[in-house]
Amino acid sequence: MYNPQEIAIYIHWPFCKSKCPYCDFYKEINPKVNQDEIITEYLKYLEYYHQLTADRTVKSIFFGGGTPSLIEPRLIEKIISFIEKKWKLKDDIEISLEANPNSNRLNMFSELKNAGINRLSLGVQSLTETNLRFLGRTHTAEQAKKCLQEVVKIFDNHSADLIYALPEQNLSEWEKELAEISDFGLKHISLYQLTIEENTVFARKNIKPLNEDEAANLYTFTCSFLHEKAYEQYEISNFAKKGFQSGHNLTYWEGGDYIGIGKSAHGRLFLHGNHIACEYPLQHTKLTAEERAEELIIMGLRLNKGINKSVFSQICGLNFTEFVNKTKFNFLKENHFLTETDTNVYATASGRLVLNTLIENLCQR
C-alpha cells in the first residue's frame, strides 16, 4: 500500500561473470573490481540521500544487477548496517538480493542470510539444458535445481525467475517447466516473456521470438496453471503465495518514492513540492505533473488491481479520468480491455495481453 512517508532503496551492482545475449541492461564484465572502493562510494551516495530523506522510513532494500551475489557478504552487511544507522527501518523490512546459480559457492546462501538478506531471488531463467544454452546462461539445470533446494531451505522468503516464449517453445515443454518450478515450494515466481531488445546479441543475430498468438496462449495458460498451484498473479509477470508479494517492486508499480545507488540506477523522490527523477551520479531532474502521471499509468496498469484513482491524484495532483484521453478510455472500457470501479482502474485479462497499446491510448494527448 502506498505510503508517502516510506521509501525503498535500490543498490545496483552492474558486474557479471558474462553477459546474456538477450540482456539490454547496463552490465560490466570485470571480475577484478575493487569491491571495497565501490562500496565506499555507494555509502557516500547513501549519506547524500539520507540528508534529503532523513525523516522517512525505509520499507525495503533491494540488491539488484548485474549479479549482486558476487559482492562479498561482509560488504553487503556493511551497506545494510549503514542504512540501519541512518534511517528508521520498517519493522517488517524486506531486504532482497538477486543471485545467479553460476555465482554459487560454498555456504554462499547462508552467508548472505547472515549478512542481513531476508529475501533471495534466484535467476534461474530455465530448467532445461537446451534453453539455458540458447539463453547464454553459464549454469546447468542441475546447478539451478541444487540452488533452488538450498534457497528454499535457508530462506523463508524466496523467488525465482524464468523466461518463456522462446522461439519454437511449445505448451507441453513450458507446462513441464512450470510444474517443476512450482514443486520447489517457492513463495514467489517471476515469469518473463522473451523480448528481443535493440543492441543485444539476439537482435544482431536476428533472433525472432515466439509469434504473438502462441506467446499469448502460453501467458494465459501460465496464469491459470499457477492459480491452481495457489500462486496469485498480482502483476503482469509476477505470481506470489499469499502474503509474499514483492514489497520493493510494489513501490515502483504503486508510484512510491525510492532511491537508486550505483551505475545506471535511478530513483524517484518527492521533495519540497517537486517530483524529482534521480540518476547516477547525483543528477536530478524535475518532472512535470503530467510526466509523473504518465509514469503512474505505465507502472500502475501492470498490477492486477490497477491504479487507485485517489492515490494517483495524491501523488501527481491530477484527476485520473480528466488526465487520460477520454475517448480512448471509454472505448477501452466498452470493449472490455479496462474496468473502472469507484476506486480503481485496471486492465482485464484481455487488456493485459495488449498492455502497451492500452497505455499508449490512455496517454495520447
pLDDT digits (tens, 9 = 90+) for 256-271: 999 999 988 999 999 9
Compute the distance between CA of residue 59 and CA of residue 247 in angstroms, rounded to an integer. 8
Task: Tell me the average pLDDT across 48-72.
Answer: 96
Least confident of 97-101, 198-202, 228-232, 334-338: 198-202
pLDDT digits (tens, 9 = 90+) for 109-159: 999 999 999 999 999 999 999 999 999 999 999 999 999 999 999 999 999
H helical segments located in 155-308:
171-182, 201-204, 212-228, 247-254, 289-300
The C-alpha cell at 354 is 495488449
Strands 344-347 and 307-308: antiparallel
* Domain assignments of the chain as residue spans, ordered by start: 6-250, 307-365
Compute the distance between CA of residue 294 and CA of residue 292 in angstroms, rounded to an integer. 5
- Class for the domain spanning 6-250: alpha beta
Least confident of 28-42, 68-82, 127-141: 28-42
pTM: 0.96
Q: What is the overall mean pLDDT for the chain?
A: 95
Burial class (CB in 10 A: 0-12, 13-18, 19+), 156: exposed
Q: How confident is the model at residue 31 (pLDDT cuts 50, 70, 90)?
A: low
- Which pLDDT does position 365 carry in this prediction? 76
Selection from 203, 274, 280, 348 nearest residue 10 by Cα = 280
162 Cβ contact partners less than 8 Å away, ≥ 6 residues apart: 124, 125, 126, 127, 177, 181, 189, 190, 191, 192
Selection from 129, 206, 123 nearest residue 163 by Cα = 123
- Which pLDDT does position 90 carry in this prediction? 98
Task: Tell me the average pLDDT across 63-70.
Answer: 93
Provide the angle, in degrees to the nearest 10, between the axes of the packed helices 289-300 and 247-254: 130
Query: What count of other Cβ atoms lies within 10 Å of the Cβ of residue 180?
Result: 15
The full DSSP string for 276-299 is EEEETTTEEEEE-HHHHHHHHHHH
Least confident of 32-36, 180-184, 285-289: 32-36
Q: How confident is the model at residue 346 (pLDDT cuts 50, 70, 90)?
A: very high
Q: How confident is the model at residue 313 (pLDDT cuts 50, 70, 90)?
A: very high
- Which pLDDT does position 17 carry in this prediction? 83
Strands 238-240 and 188-193: antiparallel
